[in-house]
A and B are shown apart, each in its own frame.
Chain A
């Protein structure tokens, strides 16, 4: 248990192990180029950009949701709709992250 905690802690609080010197970094980059790996493995595809753009459309197109009904638990639609987008937007970003990781 203690080792798990300390592992999680190490990875999420400080990340000394990931910190790479400039010199080592340059070497890694060079190595990747030499092996023919020109394009970044984390390249965003067009549908990733669409997914990241959806929250902008859903929230900046105000007439879509500026109304009272349907009410949910007594809260007007205007508010519940925007609260729902917090979850939708975070999920879309999570999916894109999985796609490019």
Chain B
């Protein structure tokens, strides 16, 4: 069926992946909560300790797509692609400040999604629905990207078919695996697979970082050759040029502020068993950032090696094929596949939670019991995965990439509603809604204007042109509209809706 398939590589790939899946199935039965309901399925019973949370957030935040895309960007653009490092450093002080408060209030009021929090704080179901819809929209292309990540690995191993049916086979298998995991065990399954997945990724990356520089004559030679490579191609360089500073800083800041507005990262935060678990993880999670920095350097290694690739996305798989024996290639590809499986599962759970809590329960069946909500969420997660699968099969991969880029900009527009509410109800709920509309409209207009190819907009201020991340521009407009409208609405005496949250709810 697949003539180019290498037996050793594919054999070790299958064995490793089967072991990971098996461990997930066994582990998901363990410490199972008695009461059931959506908090059990969708948040793993809110009981994960420091270690599980570390693996869960790490597995959720540093996805297969990151492992492929960050080095690809560094390979293509040089130092400019390295913004992922400052981004994943400054995100943790922000997490330390905000997420324990969110956890605390969600624990006391039994809230499951960020939109639940907005609903409780501002009382407005419109605002909550806006947050929920943004979350679902931003997640769909992200899940699709994880599935294409698995597909890319399978294709590298030679599992590519001639007919459309055979082409769709690998990604359909990937989909079925994710769907089966999430349906049965909920968040518990990806939490425990994340253990195996992260250990494997650490082994692969450390092996790659130890072997590859040796292979290409050490880091001094690598940076020297990479500098020559970028100079020859006339794009990028091993150090930023002054014209790239503003884009670098705004991309890092915007991505850091958006990262924990995504429903899937909030899901893994809310699944922890205590506010201090989150604080400890804000200290411990930068270990993954170190790993990400090493992975990003592989882009420089690829540039130094002067790889000729179809697409820059192939840089990591290509380096793995160059440097490692066949059985380890299979292991490495299994690790990348597991690294796609875990976040895809968490993302579909997060989207299912949003649908169940903020659309189904809000508008269709307000009195749904816990068990009914869990059942609805299970089928919703299947629907979400199916949507992502159709996305991957029928649309070109570049669409998923571009829409994920837009998704990051859109999710940042929920920042004012979620974060400011963690301290005071500074803004009027309708002002937040108006700011959200302005932010979303402006981001879509700007990203369309850039033809979905990049998220950096060249802003003209007088005679200067400053390239700025679209998300930051839209967030600034969003905040401006929200503040002005809020003052105006309070001035005209438009009533505020009741607040279900008190200061004591943030105490933990």
Seen from chain A, the residues whose Cβ lies within 8 Å of a Cβ on chain B are 10-16, 18-19, 22, 25-26, 29, 32-33, 40, 42, 44, 49, 52-53, 55-56, 59-63, 66-68, 71, 73-76, 78-79, 82-83, 85-87, 89-90, 92-94, 96-97, 100-101
User: Quick check: is B219 within 8 A (CB to CB) of the other chain?
Assistant: yes
Q: Is the CB of B93 within 8 A of A89?
A: yes
Residues of B with C-beta under 8 A to A40:
506-507
User: Quick check: is B97 within 8 A (CB to CB) of the other chain?
Assistant: yes
Q: Which of B49, B253, B274, B280 has most chain A Cβ within 10 Å?
A: B49
Given contacts A11-B49, A29-B507, A33-B504, contact A66 B223 (CB under 8 A): no
Residues of A with C-beta under 8 A to B52:
12-14
29 contacts between A and B (CB under 8 A): A10-B49, A14-B52, A15-B273, A18-B273, A19-B273, A22-B109, A40-B507, A44-B97, A52-B93, A52-B96, A53-B93, A60-B86, A61-B249, A62-B245, A66-B79, A66-B242, A73-B219, A78-B82, A83-B85, A83-B290, A83-B293, A85-B86, A85-B89, A86-B89, A87-B286, A89-B90, A96-B96, A97-B96, A100-B279
Say what secondary structure dominates the interface of chain B: helix
Given contacts A14-B48, A55-B93, contact A63 B297 (CB under 8 A): no
| Docked CA distance A94–B93 (Å) | 10
Residues of B with C-beta under 8 A to A97:
96, 279-280, 282-283
Residues of B with C-beta under 8 A to A14:
31, 47-49, 52, 273
Q: Is the CB of B47 within 8 A of A16?
A: yes
User: Quick check: is B252 within 8 A (CB to CB) of the other chain?
Assistant: yes
Residues of B with C-beta under 8 A to A49:
97
Q: Is the CB of B218 within 8 A of A74?
A: yes
Q: Is the CB of A59 within 8 A of B86?
A: yes
The 8 closest A-B pairs by CB, nearest first: A74-B220, A15-B273, A59-B86, A52-B93, A12-B51, A66-B240, A62-B245, A90-B286
Given contacts A18-B273, A74-B218, contact A13 B96 (CB under 8 A): no
Q: Is the CB of A25 within 8 A of B245?
A: no
Q: Is the CB of B49 within 8 A of A12?
A: yes
Residues of B with C-beta under 8 A to A11:
49-50
How many residues of chain B get a CB closer than 8 Å to chain A's CBs? 54
Q: Which of B46, B110, B286 has most chain A Cβ within 10 Å?
A: B286
| Docked CA distance A100–B101 (Å) | 14
User: Quick check: is B128 within 8 A (CB to CB) of the other chain?
Assistant: no
| Option from B46, B238, B253 in Cβ contact (under 8 Å) with A78 | B238
Given contacts A14-B49, A18-B274, contact A63 B242 (CB under 8 A): yes
User: Quick check: is B5 within 8 A (CB to CB) of the other chain?
Assistant: no
| Docked CA distance A70–B52 (Å) | 40
| Docked CA distance A25–B242 (Å) | 53
| Docked CA distance A5–B71 (Å) | 38
| Docked CA distance A59–B506 (Å) | 30
| Docked CA distance A100–B245 (Å) | 35
Residues of B with C-beta under 8 A to A89:
89-90, 92-93, 286
| Docked CA distance A47–B482 (Å) | 30
| Docked CA distance A86–B253 (Å) | 16
Residue of A nearest to B290 (CB): A86
Residue of A nearest to B224 (CB): A74
| Option from B49, B90, B219, B221 in Cβ contact (under 8 Å) with A55 | B90
| Docked CA distance A90–B46 (Å) | 25
User: Quick check: is B319 within 8 A (CB to CB) of the other chain?
Assistant: no
Q: Is the CB of A93 within 8 A of B92?
A: yes
| Besides the known contacts A53-B93, A61-B249, A93-B93, 14 further A-B residue pairs in the complex with CB atoms under 8 A apart | A15-B49, A29-B507, A32-B507, A52-B97, A55-B90, A59-B86, A62-B245, A66-B79, A76-B238, A76-B239, A78-B239, A89-B93, A92-B93, A101-B279
Residues of B with C-beta under 8 A to A67:
239
Q: Is the CB of B85 within 8 A of A82?
A: yes
| Docked CA distance A42–B275 (Å) | 11
Residues of B with C-beta under 8 A to A60:
86, 90, 249, 252-253
Q: Is the CB of A63 within 8 A of B245?
A: yes
Residues of A with C-beta under 8 A to B31:
14, 16
Q: Is the CB of A82 within 8 A of B47?
A: no
User: Quick check: is B391 within 8 A (CB to CB) of the other chain?
Assistant: no
**Cβ of B158 to closest chain A Cβ, rounded Å:** 35
| Docked CA distance A13–B53 (Å) | 8
**Cβ of A22 to closest chain B Cβ, rounded Å:** 6
Residues of A with C-beta under 8 A to B79:
66, 78
